[in-house]
Amino acid sequence: MPGLPMRLHLLAPNVKCPACGAGLTFIRVRGGYGDLYQCGSGSPCKCQVMHYQRKATKTCGYSVLYNYGAFGDWTACDMPAPKG
């Protein structure tokens, strides 16, 4: 079964892994409300970043997703969120 398409636009190329500075790779749609990215360094770093839209402001942004399920600080994207 093919994976779901991204819900939002691709993250900008300048958004890097907060742990090691490598690029991020789209993994899958998570929970139906955001796009999950993971460190693409190929090293043991498995840092994950969630790209999602805030309900209150309808703006999209991203934050690190910690191993224990909590989100880190949210950063707004330079692009507007898609309509819909």
- Give mean pLDDT in consecutive 10-residue pieces for the chain, a chain of 84 residues: 70 92 92 88 92 86 90 85 56
- Phi and psi at residue 31, to the nearest 5°: 65, 10
Give the chain's domain count.
1
The tokens describing 77, both together, are 């994207």
Decide if 69 is inside a domain: yes
Would you say residue 4 lies in a domain? no
Domain extent, residue 61, equals 11-21+56-77
The answer to whether residue 37 sits within a structural domain is: no
Instruction: Report pTM.
Output: 0.84
CA-CA distance, 76 to 67, in Å (whole number)? 22
Beta bridge partner(s), residue 26: 37
Q: What is the pLDDT of residue 4?
A: 61
Q: What is the DSSP letter of 50?
A: E
